[in-house]
Every structure is written in C-alpha cells, then in structure tokens.
Amino acid sequence: TELFHKCMYTTTFSRHFFIIDGKAYMCYVNHRLLDDINEREDEHVDFCDENLQLSDIKEKLYALRDRNHLSVCARCNGFCTDGKRYTPAEQLQ
C-alpha cells in the first residue's frame, strides 16, 4: 500500500488508465506482469467483454480507481520519484 501511494502510475498520472488490447489498466507494470501471472479480474476492465453493460464498466472503473494497492505491487520496486536510478547499459557491482 505504501509503494502504491508513492508510485507515479497511481499518483503523478492521477490514476488515469492505460488501455491496451481493449483492457483498461491502472498501471503499465500491472499489464506487463499480468501476462506472466494469473490475471486478476478486479485489476483491469475488459471493454471487449460482451457480458458487461455500460453501468458494469463504470462500476468496475470506479472500483479500480479507488483501490489502495494492486497485487503486482508486491512484485515491483515501484516507479517512484524517490526510487534508486541506474545509468542504462552499465553493469552494477
């Protein structure tokens, strides 16, 4: 939860959504990691789901926006302004 509240995806980007392949995600890392782990239905909104009515989509978007963490936060070091930075293409010692 602490990392979620420091992350630029959920703070600086003002909780906007990334729409990729017809699904809305709150965090781009969430989208990338969900490809590798079991996808959580409550952490994205599938606009291509023909079973969802407009009211269902709105409800899911509001619920996603009002979350205070995502399951993938536990697997992420955060996209935070105070995060440690490394020069690209240099080996760490």
Across the range 33-49, mean pLDDT stands at 75
DSSP state of 8: T
What band does 51 get if pLDDT is binned at 50, 70 and 90?
Answer: very high
Helix (H), strand (E), coil (C) string for 37-71: CCCCHHHCEECCCCCCCHHHHHHHHHHHHCCCCCH
The confidence score (pLDDT) of residue 89 equals: 77
Euclidean distance between CA atoms 74 and 17, whole angstroms: 20
Q: In the chain, what are the domain boundaries?
A: 2-75
Radius of gyration of the chain (CA): 15
What band does 34 get if pLDDT is binned at 50, 70 and 90?
Answer: low
User: Is the confidence at residue 13, as pLDDT, over 70?
Assistant: yes
Across the range 89-93, mean pLDDT stands at 69
3-state SS assignment for residue 3? helix
Across the range 52-71, mean pLDDT stands at 89
Least Cα distance to 12 among 72, 83, 61, 74 occurs for 83
